[in-house]
Chains A and B, each alone.
Chain A
Amino acid sequence: MTDGNTTDDLADERASLVEQVPERRRIAIAIVGAVFWTWLLARWAYHNALLDVIATALGFPDLIRSEVPVLVRQGWIPGGPFRAVADAVAGVANALGPADVLLEWLVWLADLAAFAATIAPKLADGAFITVYLTVVSLLLGLVIAVPLAVARVYGGRVLSTLSLGYTELIRGTPLLAQLFFLWYALQLGSVARAIGFTGEPPIPQAAAMVAVVGFTINSAAYQAEYIRSALQSIDAGQLTAARAVGLDMRGTIRHVVLPQGLRLAIPGWTNEFVYLIKYSSLAAFITVPELFRAAEGVGSDTFRYTKVYVIVGLFYLALVLTTALAMGRFEAAVSIPGLDSSGNQE
């Protein structure tokens, strides 16, 4: 109850992230996003074990290269030309003396591009796990969040207190502490290994499964809050009308409340999606080789920490912006004719 307003405010803020971007810039994001995702999907496909099996069976044994270890994977975009530009500009900058800051920035950027081209295959591999963790946890979390939110709003005293207790416990403790609790205290990793999550492609490794469990539990609590506030914003008159027609509470929730409440929850839900993309980096601390850990690995191999974190930051930014854009499209696609996204008449 106490944070009802803040979650609503957050949802509004989140919704505005992409909505308020002018159309031309939105198209620019879409184009950059399309290039990024095409590259990312192609990279994933190129090293996917499952696709390799299929391609080999179809008679193309060399099409998919899942056997290449992550550390020796080669990029498709050559770093050489960027390196050459960097060297050339550096030569000019040196000739001009220490005064030319602008040129040094150009050297830095060209060098960054060259470095990005070489480490991109490793980051693509980490990004796959990041996306996997986020999407799976978000969807599993949604499955838990819907009953939690319904219990909170319509569950009567016992169920709504239980739901509230869960939500407050999860939202009141750090996500990293929750992950460590599952990983170190409950030793969920060995349980996951015992039931077959060995990490042999295409089976995910035990740590990734533990991360999915942790993120699901955590995300369910946040999603439940967004859904709860959406459910509560539905006009009570419609519930009365549903009852007056003879629908019971279950039917009313299923056919009247949820179809509208879930639509209204999309902006808040998009927020949670975006958060989870970024917070999934905490899985690095329980050894999951996701995007952030892949970047850390590159950093400790090359000691070029500044550039690594700039590049991985751009990866996250690309993931987040394309997600927000896609969710905006989704929201528009499922919107109720004649109503805006907050359910008011246009």
Chain B
Amino acid sequence: MTLLELEDIEKAYENEEVLHGVSLGMEQGDVEVLVGPSGAGKSTLLRCVNRLTEIDAGTIRLAGESIHDLDSNDLRQRVGMVFQDFNLFAHRTARGNVTLGLEEVLGMDHDEAVERAEAHLDQVGLAEQADSYPAELSGGQQQRVGIARALAMDPELMLFDEPTSSLDPELIGDVLAVMNDLAAEGMTMLCVTHEMGFARSAADTLTMLDGGRIVERGPPERLFENPQHERTESFLGQFTDFE
């Protein structure tokens, strides 16, 4: 079943064109990784999917329904998002970060929300840290709380906006492990990341974006081993050289 469909998405800020006719489709359970230089429009594309940013033209469909026919808050319950800077609620514990949406958006009662929050914190390996406040957690732990917060809403699709870019190298592994688990469990994931190891191992599709257009899209092995475009080759080449 096609879960997410983007058709000819156009987006400009002021006069600067950010997305220019982007189209892609994701099946349920797909893991898609968006790569490209900064300014390529990757994050903007992600934010269009849960309407944190509104598109200028084109169509986005979630499970066959145009997202502009949905209430934006209902849409956001169905699409979880994880941020580069974690964006945890500073005044709430790890548990409280997860329960806020459950109680205030889904209308769950407190005990049920706590139980569900703790299950999801356990899932990301943070059962012990449920009572800690964000400022008391490491970056990697904060990001895993961010993932638990999004997962607890039971989304159909998860968006990851450079989830490891603000982390110290030694903390990236924990977050990637959680993302790998999720991918293995069949979560549909649209990820902007520079973690090429993750792209190779977990992604079904790799999409190279540049200047607001899709340069090349296909299975990661093909883009890495046999890129059709010189731009893809030079961009991915920087990473393979490291590995």
**A residues apposed to B, CB below 8 Å:** 235, 237-238, 240-248, 251, 255-256, 259-260, 263, 336-339, 343, 345-346
Pick the contact of B100: A240, A255, A338, A346 (CB < 8 A).
A255
Is the pair A238, B88 in contact by a Cβ cutoff of 8 Å? yes
Most chain B beta-carbon neighbours within 10 Å: one of A235, A241, A255, A263:
A241
Q: How far is the CA of A246 from the CA of B87 in the complex (A)?
A: 15
Is the pair B101, A247 in contact by a Cβ cutoff of 8 Å? yes
Q: How far is the CA of A336 from the CA of B136 in the complex (A)?
A: 10
Q: How far is the CA of A156 from the CA of B101 in the complex (A)?
A: 25
- Tell me the dominant secondary structure on chain A's binding face: helix
Residues of chain B lying within 8 A (CB to CB) of residue A245: 76-77, 100-101, 105, 149-150, 153
Q: How far is the CA of A251 from the CA of B135 in the complex (A)?
A: 23
Residues of chain A lying within 8 A (CB to CB) of residue B132: 337
Is the pair A238, B104 in contact by a Cβ cutoff of 8 Å? no
Is the pair A247, B73 in contact by a Cβ cutoff of 8 Å? yes
Most chain A beta-carbon neighbours within 10 Å: one of B73, B90, B91:
B91
Instruction: Tell me whether A338 and B134 are in contact in the complex, defined as CB-CB below 8 angstroms, given that A238-B87, A255-B100, A259-B91 are known contacts.
Output: yes
Is the pair B52, A243 in contact by a Cβ cutoff of 8 Å? yes
Query: At the interface, yes or no: B89 with Cβ under 8 Å from chain A?
Result: yes
Pick the contact of B135: A244, A247, A255, A337 (CB < 8 A).
A337
Is the pair B101, A246 in contact by a Cβ cutoff of 8 Å? yes
Query: At the interface, yes or no: B224 with Cβ under 8 Å from chain A?
Result: no
Residues of chain B lying within 8 A (CB to CB) of residue A251: 104-105
Q: How far is the CA of A237 from the CA of B104 in the complex (A)?
A: 19
Is the pair A246, B105 in contact by a Cβ cutoff of 8 Å? yes
Pairs across A and B, CB under 8 Å, 6 listed: A237-B85, A242-B100, A244-B80, A245-B77, A246-B74, A338-B133
Is the pair B81, A244 in contact by a Cβ cutoff of 8 Å? yes
Chain B: interface size category: 20 to 34
CB distance from A255 to the nearest CB of B (A): 6
Is the pair A246, B133 in contact by a Cβ cutoff of 8 Å? no
Q: How far is the CA of A260 from the CA of B80 in the complex (A)?
A: 24
Instruction: Tell me whether A243 and B90 are in contact in the complex, defined as CB-CB below 8 angstroms, given that A336-B135, A337-B133, A338-B133 are known contacts.
Output: no
Residues of chain B lying within 8 A (CB to CB) of residue A338: 133-136
CB distance from B60 to the nearest CB of A (A): 16
CB distance from A92 to the nearest CB of B (A): 63
Q: How far is the CA of A27 from the CA of B153 in the complex (A)?
A: 49
Instruction: Tell me whether A242 and B89 are in contact in the complex, defined as CB-CB below 8 angstroms, given that A247-B73, A247-B104, A248-B73 are known contacts.
Output: yes
Is the pair B105, A244 in contact by a Cβ cutoff of 8 Å? no
Is the pair A238, B74 in contact by a Cβ cutoff of 8 Å? no
Q: How far is the CA of A259 from the CA of B80 in the complex (A)?
A: 24
Residues of chain A lying within 8 A (CB to CB) of residue B101: 245-247
Pick the contact of A240: B77, B87, B150 (CB < 8 A).
B87
Nearest B-chain residue to A234, judged by Cβ = B90
CB distance from B72 to the nearest CB of A (A): 8
Residues of chain B lying within 8 A (CB to CB) of residue A244: 50, 52, 76, 80-81, 83, 150
Is the pair A240, B83 in contact by a Cβ cutoff of 8 Å? yes
Is the pair B136, A337 in contact by a Cβ cutoff of 8 Å? yes
CB distance from B81 to the nearest CB of A (A): 4
Residues of chain B lying within 8 A (CB to CB) of residue A259: 91
CB distance from A256 to the nearest CB of B (A): 6
Q: Which 9 A-B pairs rank lowest in CB-CB distance, beginning with the nearest?
A: A338-B135, A241-B87, A245-B101, A237-B87, A246-B76, A246-B105, A246-B77, A244-B81, A338-B136
Give per-residue flags for B111-131: 1 if the beta carbon is below 8 A from chain A beta carbons, else 0: 000000000000000000000
Residues of chain B lying within 8 A (CB to CB) of residue A237: 83, 85-87
Q: Add 14 more A-B contacts to A244-B80, A263-B91, A339-B133 (CB < 8 A).
A: A235-B87, A235-B90, A241-B81, A241-B149, A243-B76, A245-B105, A246-B77, A247-B73, A260-B90, A336-B90, A336-B135, A337-B132, A337-B133, A338-B133
Q: How far is the CA of A255 from the CA of B96 in the complex (A)?
A: 11
Q: How far is the CA of A240 from the CA of B52 in the complex (A)?
A: 8
Nearest B-chain residue to A239, judged by Cβ = B87
CB distance from A337 to the nearest CB of B (A): 4
CB distance from A231 to the nearest CB of B (A): 13
Q: How far is the CA of A255 from the CA of B85 in the complex (A)?
A: 20
Q: How far is the CA of A301 from the CA of B77 in the complex (A)?
A: 72
Is the pair B83, A241 in contact by a Cβ cutoff of 8 Å? yes
Q: How far is the CA of A240 from the CA of B89 in the complex (A)?
A: 11
Instruction: Tell me whether A241 and B89 are in contact in the complex, defined as CB-CB below 8 angstroms, given that A246-B153, A251-B105, A339-B135 are known contacts.
Output: yes
CB distance from B160 to the nearest CB of A (A): 12
Residues of chain A lying within 8 A (CB to CB) of residue B77: 245-246
